[in-house]
Amino acid sequence: MSTTSQDPETVQTPMVEIQQLVKNFGKLNVINHLDMTINRGETFGLIGPNGSGKTTLIRMLVGLIKPTSGDIRIMGEHVPSRKVALKTGYMTQLSALYLDLTARENMRFFARIYSLHGKEQAARIEEMLERVELADRADDIVGTFSGGMRQRLSLATALVHRPTLALLDEPTVGVDPELRRSFWDYFHQLNQEGVTIIVSTHHLDEAARCTRLGLMRAGELLALDTPQEVLRQSGKQDMEEAFLYFASHERKEVTA
Amino acid sequence: MNVSRILALAGRIIRQVSRDRRTLVLIFLVPILVTTLLSLVLNTNSSTLTVALVRPTGQGSQQVNTLLNALLPTSDKLKTIDINANQVDSTLNNGNADAALIFPSNFTQQVAAKQHPTVQIKLEGSNPTVASALNGQLQAVTKQLGIALAALQGGQGQPTLPISANVSTPFDTAPTEYLHGGPEYTATDSLAPVFIGVFSFLFILLLTAIAFLRERAQGTIERVMVSPLTRAELVLGYVCGFTIFALIQSLLILLFVVFALRIHYSGNLALVFLVTILLTIGSVNLGIFLSGFAQNEFQVIQFIPLVLGLQIFLSGVFWPIAQLPGALRPIAYLLPLTYANEGLRNVMLKNADIGAIGNDLLALLVFAVLMIALSTLTTRRRIA
């Protein structure tokens, strides 16, 4: 894909605009009339329990599944768009890697399908492997890696092509606390470099690390605000209490 | 269409397969082992054979023709058709007959004038078993005819058949001619070409189906789908990656059967490759398509009898399609291996040029396009 004069970067639109988004799987409603805008430069947290629709939402954002109705625009473009795809990094819930290849070969494959070549490619791969502390294992077969190492490599492959939008679906699931902290330090660093991050998690304690939160439950937004404001509105001390407050609050609203 | 992305994908597949030593050994050694075994085991096959008859037409030929009708064995294993002298090669070539018995039109007059006319047996020859069986039968028929005619000329009146006497025949039978092949051809000669098709089809189908299944299971297919890689690039990358192995495999089988099994090979390697490439494109895409219906590797294996068993029996590997029961013949014409086998046999045994196998190439192309459409549909359905 060649870069055109109308670079989506230069068009000053929100990073993500979601309008009246609905997704049904058969009779099951997974996303229910969702409206949401995510600005450039945010670290946006999609917070909610398993089955709240976080993964479905992210899969619709990357264009893997089609919305039942409603509209998604990323960088002003309707998804799926090749232009957007080139600038998006996607880390799936499972560490999606080729287990029979080495770490470096995995990196090289993903770099090449995102049109990163030559010296720039080699330098970027080294840089990313250093960053996720896998440089010394670069030429080992990924099948021999531990879960945490795979998760780190998965993150590195998702970001190898310098995306401006990183969609990270539960990147810290099954990751030990130490690695979770280093992941979040890195997300913070990426954000400083201008990368917009959308990260889903069911670890409520990670919510405080985000610039803004979308609290999700059963395909609906319970709250959409900064962590401080979410806590303030609920009058609770921590995010877990706040989430429960909003969940029960909503239930009362529905039954009323 | 971005060539670099296609190459990235093809390169990754080549790397993955090359790293899997056991699979590599199986891809390249199994065909050779099986070919060797079959060449040792094979003997005769039963079939309905057809003899094309160019009858003498001149004055007084009726008696000879009556004798011929009496002498030619008629059974459901052998039938006779009448043709003109100028139709011999075309009738043999298009498969309407397996052998021809050719009398000069003025045969009777020549016999009467003691000019010792020549009767010609001509064999289609690409199936050695058929050729040698028919050669024997037709030799016997001409000999008996000669004996009968000699007896008639000797003034013994109406001859009774069969006549066994050491009467010198009033004509000669020319040495048998082969349009293709020769008396030294064996069953392996006719089987070697189809092995190239069968093995590349089977192995590539399995490799692709399982590789694609793994891509889905480990989630990498999703990352490939959200990347700028288009579906066309994905399919092409897969085709390129696996075609390399199909071609190496074909080349190895070819070298092995030519130099180790000493089959008689008179074809054009480029055409063998062309047939293999077209077949492989179909096979890769059928593999992607089938992988959409399998949840695990075991289920992929279950497709083998369905996809391959059917084709081994119906695509002319062992029995010519013309000899299949009428109800099965239409199925045979739907199978890609039918055309691959015919094309490879024609190239390797009859040294056919690209024009002569044009129909086979076209059929394989149609199959490939159809499979690409199916695989594209399933990747969409399965990912979404």
**Per-residue pLDDT tens for B339-374?**
999 999 899 888 888 898 999 999 999 999 999 988
pLDDT of residue B47: 62
Question: B residues 289-318 near A, CB within 8 Å?
Answer: none
pLDDT of residue B184: 66
B222 to A92: CB separation less than 8 angstroms, yes or no: yes
Whether A117 has its CB under 8 Å from any CB of chain B: the answer is yes
pLDDT of residue B160: 45
pLDDT in tens, B209-225: 988 888 888 889 889 98
CB < 8 Å to B223, chain A: 90, 92, 96, 110, 157-158
3-state DSSP call for residue B129? Answer: helix
Q: For the whole model, what pTM was predicted?
A: 0.73
Average pLDDT over chain A reads 88
Residue of B18, B212, B218, B220 to mutate when probing chain A, most A C-beta within 10 A: B220
Return the minimum-mean-pLDDT range out of A201-205, B70-74, B78-82.
B70-74
pLDDT surpasses 90 at A43:
yes
B228 to A88: CB separation less than 8 angstroms, yes or no: no
Residue B173 vs residue A101, higher pLDDT: A101
Q: Which one of B8, B20, B384 has the shortest CB-CB distance to A112? A: B8
Give A47's strand partners: A201, A215
- The β-bridge relationship of strands A196-201 and A165-169 is parallel
Rounded Cα–Cα distance for residues B38 and B256 (Å): 14
Task: For residue B19, give the chain A residue with the closest CA.
Answer: A100
CB < 8 Å to B7, chain A: 112
Q: Cβ atoms within 10 A of the Cβ of B161, count?
A: 14
Write down the H helix ranges in B113-186. 128-153
A88 to B19: CB separation less than 8 angstroms, yes or no: no
3-state DSSP call for residue B157? Answer: coil
Nearest to B338 by CA among B263, B248, B275, B381: B275
3-state DSSP call for residue B20? Answer: coil
pLDDT surpasses 60 at B243:
yes
Residue of A65, A84, A112 to mutate when probing chain B, most B C-beta within 10 A: A112
pLDDT of residue B329: 87
Bond prior to B325 in cis (omega within 30° of 0): no
A94 to B218: CB separation less than 8 angstroms, yes or no: yes
pLDDT surpasses 80 at B30:
yes
Tokens of B73: 């064995």
pLDDT of residue B161: 44
The mean per-residue pLDDT over the stretch B116-143 comes to 87
Q: Which one of A1, A92, A112 has the shortest CB-CB distance to B223? A: A92
Q: Radius of gyration over alpha carbons of chain A, in Å? A: 19
pLDDT of residue B159: 45
pLDDT in tens, B141-164: 888 888 888 877 765 444 444 444
pLDDT of residue A254: 46
The mean per-residue pLDDT over the stretch A245-254 comes to 67
pLDDT of residue B232: 84
B12 to A109: CB separation less than 8 angstroms, yes or no: yes
The mean per-residue pLDDT over the stretch A31-56 comes to 91
CB < 8 Å to A125, chain B: none
Angle between helices B297-304 and B269-291 (to 10 degrees): 130
Return the minimum-mean-pLDDT range out of A91-100, B184-193, B262-271.
B184-193
A113 to B9: CB separation less than 8 angstroms, yes or no: yes
Angle of CA points B51, B54, B59, to nearest 5°: 145
Angle of CA points A36, A31, A62, to nearest 5°: 65
Q: Cβ atoms within 10 A of the Cβ of B77, count?
A: 12
pLDDT of residue B144: 85
pLDDT surpasses 50 at A256:
no
Contact B270, B278 (CB under 8 A): no
User: H or E stretch including B372?
Assistant: helix B358-383
CB < 8 Å to A80, chain B: 226
User: H or E stretch including B119?
Assistant: strand B118-123
Most confident among B72-86, B106-120, B349-363 (mean pLDDT): B349-363
Angle between helices B187-217 and B128-153 (to 10 degrees): 160
pLDDT of residue B163: 44
pLDDT surpasses 60 at B381:
no
**ipTM for the predicted complex:** 0.84
pLDDT of residue B32: 87
Number of CB pairs < 8 Å for A and B? Answer: 76
pLDDT-based confidence at residue B108 (cuts at 50, 70, 90):
confident
pLDDT in tens, A132-187: 999 999 999 999 999 889 999 999 999 999 999 999 999 988 788 888 888 899 99
A90 to B2: CB separation less than 8 angstroms, yes or no: no
B223 to A90: CB separation less than 8 angstroms, yes or no: yes
Average pLDDT over chain B reads 83
CB < 8 Å to B8, chain A: 109, 112-113
pLDDT in tens, A57-111: 999 999 888 999 999 999 999 988 888 999 999 998 888 999 999 999 999 999 9
Return the minimum-mean-pLDDT range out of B116-120, B318-322, B329-333.
B318-322
